[in-house]
Amino acid sequence: MAEVKRVERPLSPHLQIYRPQMTSVSSILTRITGNALIVGVILAVWWLLAAATSPAYFNVANAVATSWFGDLVFTGSLWAVWYHYLAGLRHLLWDTGRGMDIETAEKLGWACVIGSVVLTLITIILV
């Protein structure tokens, strides 16, 4: 039987030359933040249910909600809400047929990311 000479080839040659684009990153961020909002909602609902259950159970839920973990979840949820709001405005603009060229779409993606961070910081400072 003849020997087969195996050629070393990369598994995914496109990954060597692919550069993530802001349009794809913003699409992925929209999906990730939408699913991550569930964690904030679950924590808030647990806190409310604990308040309606008993003082002892509320103390446990309140300790988690006001800990560093709760602060992280609620701050991340706040950012996700602002990001979704700005991404929704971007999609409304796209629904009118404007801003569809690549350069404008990338600028709008960056505007959503930077704007959501700025609005999150303003909300934290004001509240």
pLDDT digits (tens, 9 = 90+) for 45-92: 999 999 999 999 999 999 999 999 999 999 999 999 999 999 999 999
- The domain ranges of the chain are 22-126
Distance CA 111, CA 115 (A): 5
| Region 22-126: CATH code | 1.20.1300.10
Question: Whole-prediction pTM value?
Answer: 0.81
Residue type, 117: V
